[in-house]
Structure 1
Amino acid sequence: MTPSDASGNRWSDLDRPPLNAAALRRGLLRPDALWTSVDVVPRTGSTNSDLVASGGAEGAVLVAEEQSAGRGRLDRTWSAPPRSGLFFSVLLTPGPGVPAERWGWLPLLAGVATAAAISRAAGIDTALKWPNDLLVTVGDEERKAGGILAERTGDSVVVGIGLNVSLRADELPVPGAGSLALAGAKVLDRDPLLRAVLRSLEEWYGEWRRAGGDPVLCRLQEAYAIGCATLGRSVRAELPGGRELVGEAVAVDGDGRLVLATAAGVQEPVGAGDIVHLRPAGS
């Protein structure tokens, strides 16, 4: 084994260079900025778990080159090769100006911010699958390339974002997954991609907070609906206890819930915490 192939060597894969923490701090940390710290670690279990345990200040950003126990909704786990994606969490404290009942918009806000930033910075089409997935097009197929997990901790919310950047077909965790590389992204350099996402998130979060968390006033509800691939499709919501709800996804309501129009002529909202899976109706 040569030194460049040694396990843990930061330059072992020259196609996947490490993030430049110093440059990220120079580009993101300003006196008037939301972001107050940016830390990059070579490996951790979960950036969300680490930030939840840290008790840090608002605006803390924790990035991992590799996650061994990355988590999604309902404690689903996933992993990816080192430096093959962006795996990071941010700590947000909306404050008394935003009612707690509107905090549920934060994962959807993160989805809008991430999709918009990646679309601009990487030059590819992106879409959102309600409630927390980022979709890209590989060939003529929509595939999940990222996910978002928000967790409340005291008066704050930790928002974790995972995004597959350079994963190759033989590295995908499941056949239906995707990556920016497979979608034909023009930019795979993770430094500018991460800066773009964090700047977009700072902008959307600032507008949302200035609007008191009102998703209509800050146009978040409108932006999410425009970018949501789920709307207009017939879906099957799998609920706890083996129950199902089938209908056409017609709207995202003021609480961030997906509204389904059923065959019985009833519109029923379902919250992200209420579903186990959301699938196409015929699957």
Structure 2
Amino acid sequence: MSLGGASLRAVAHFGAVGSTQTVASELCASGSPDELDGVALVADLQTAGRGRSSHRWDSPPESSGLLVSLIRSVPAATAGKVLPLAQHVASLAALRAVAAACAGPAAPGASARSASREGTAAPAPRMAIKWPNDLYVVGALPPAAGPADGAAGAAATEAAGGSGSAAAAASDVERALERHCGAPVRKAGGILCTVAQPTGRARGGLFLVIGMGLNLSDAPPGRGAVADVHGRTSDPALLRQRVLGHFCREVDSLWHRTVNGGGSSAWRDEYERAWMHAGQRVKLPGGEWLELAGLAETGGLVATDGFGGPLVELGTGNDTVDLMDGLVRVGKPQ
């Protein structure tokens, strides 16, 4: 498989697998950085896909999404600083990859969508980051285009692990996001980063496993896909290959800059331009309202009272931030 110059050691392709994240972690348990750094695992179907907070990720057969887990080694000296930034690096890399893979001549359907927007004030749909690890399509689609709602479903169908209705939960989440963004939102993908430590003779370092599920050409009803923003393609397999290659290359570039002293400062401005939370208000336990101002160096959130008061860092340590309900349990002065 050609990956367009991405810095990869190898790609392992599975027709079907329980979870690429689980298989990658098992490889890391007995492997070494020399063997595994830069290995990507890609699947057409996951039967036990994993998400954050014990959620699972369903990928029905014939999904047109990208399901990948990328293994990177982590220098022990910088692990404590850079690991909390990994999901943000991967989220930004995903948006860069989509933009690069879809650049050039318009995909089939893209020109029709552009024409249908002429004479209206509605902005074109865009892809955006929901902190800390989700990818969304933001913006209304022209009625003639409709969502990319293939019946097969896709990579980013999330179900709450064993509790309640996933559809109802997703509706609550997206209603809150829509109120803030002032536009329809549809989840198109997610990032899961886990840390694995070798055992036995291979001990001595850490591995970061970066997992991503992303809807490309089709999505279940109510979900989003890359095609909602860039138009459909006549060759979904080629699109998946291109997004994979660009994703691995962008992770490599951003991770290198993060690990080698830059932290999040090397890409934070770009990340904040791409996220969904500019100006979003959150409420502290005492009733005080704060306004989100950006991403902290730790990977948490920076907020302000909007009147020149001190910045407050949220989402670190024992903090719990629920951006859907606008609630914060603990705020720590920066």
Superposition TM-score tier, normalisation by shorter sequence: 0.7 to 0.9
C-alpha distance in structure 2 between counterparts of 1:68 and 1:136, whole Å: 25
C-alpha change, 1:73 and 1:274, in structure 2 (3 Å) is farther
Partner of 2:272: 225
C-alpha change, 1:100 and 1:52, in structure 2 (3 Å) is same
1:31-42 aligned at under 5 Å gives the runs: 34-42=7-15
Amino acid at match of 1:279: M
C-alpha change, 1:246 and 1:150, in structure 2 (3 Å) is farther
Alpha-carbon deviations, 1:77-131, whole Å to 9, x = none?
Answer: 1212233200110111121452423211111001111111212323573211111
C-alpha change, 1:268 and 1:201, in structure 2 (3 Å) is closer
C-alpha distance in structure 1 between counterparts of 2:80 and 2:254, whole Å: 18
Does residue 256 (structure 1) correspond to residue 299 (structure 2)? The answer is yes
- Secondary structure of the corresponding residue to residue 232 of structure 1: coil
C-alpha distance in structure 2 between counterparts of 1:246 and 1:70, whole Å: 37
Q: In proportion to residue count, which structure has more helix?
A: 2
Partner of 2:127: 126
1:152 equivalent among 186, 192, 195? 195
Does residue 51 (structure 1) correspond to residue 97 (structure 2)? The answer is no
C-alpha change, 1:163 and 1:153, in structure 2 (3 Å) is same
Does residue 86 (structure 1) correspond to residue 66 (structure 2)? The answer is yes
C-alpha distance in structure 1 between counterparts of 2:24 and 2:257, whole Å: 24
C-alpha distance in structure 1 between counterparts of 2:2 and 2:256, whole Å: 23
Shift of 1:159: 0.8
C-alpha change, 1:122 and 1:138, in structure 2 (3 Å) is farther
Shift of 1:186: 5.2
User: Does the 8 Å CA contact 1:152/1:158 hold for their aligned counterparts?
Assistant: yes
C-alpha distance in structure 2 between counterparts of 1:147 and 1:273, whole Å: 23
Shift of 1:252: 1.1
Does residue 190 (structure 1) correspond to residue 240 (structure 2)? The answer is yes
User: Does the 8 Å CA contact 2:126/2:139 hold for their aligned counterparts?
Assistant: no
User: Does the 8 Å CA contact 1:131/1:272 hold for their aligned counterparts?
Assistant: no
C-alpha change, 1:147 and 1:273, in structure 2 (3 Å) is farther
C-alpha change, 1:190 and 1:153, in structure 2 (3 Å) is same
1:1-283 aligned at under 5 Å gives the runs: 22-24=1-3, 27-28=4-5, 34-55=7-28, 56=31, 57-82=36-61, 83-96=63-76, 98-122=78-102, 125-139=126-140, 140-154=183-197, 155-168=206-219, 171-172=220-221, 175=222, 177-185=223-231, 187=233, 188=236, 189-209=239-259, 211-212=260-261, 214-216=263-265, 219-235=266-282, 247-261=290-304, 267-271=312-316, 274-275=319-320, 277-279=322-324, 281=326
Shift of 1:191: 1.4
C-alpha distance in structure 2 between counterparts of 1:159 and 1:236, whole Å: 31
C-alpha change, 1:73 and 1:197, in structure 2 (3 Å) is same
C-alpha change, 1:254 and 1:23, in structure 2 (3 Å) is closer
C-alpha distance in structure 2 between counterparts of 1:272 and 1:191, whole Å: 38
Shift of 1:160: 0.4
- Root-mean-square deviation (CA), in Å? 3.0
Range moving further from structure 2, 158-167 or 188-197: 188-197
C-alpha distance in structure 2 between counterparts of 1:257 and 1:245, whole Å: 19
C-alpha change, 1:236 and 1:262, in structure 2 (3 Å) is same
Unpaired runs of 5+ residues, structure 2, are 104-124, 141-182, 198-205, 328-334
Superposition TM-score, scaled by structure 2 size? 0.64
Shift of 1:184: 4.3
- Secondary structure of the corresponding residue to residue 253 of structure 2: helix
- Secondary structure of the corresponding residue to residue 264 of structure 2: coil
User: Does the 8 Å CA contact 1:138/1:178 hold for their aligned counterparts?
Assistant: no
C-alpha distance in structure 1 between counterparts of 2:45 and 2:287, whole Å: 36
Range moving further from structure 2, 145-154 or 261-270: 261-270
- If you compute each CA radius of gyration, which structure gives the higher value, 1 or 2? 2
Aligned pairs, number: 243
User: Does the 8 Å CA contact 2:126/2:137 hold for their aligned counterparts?
Assistant: yes
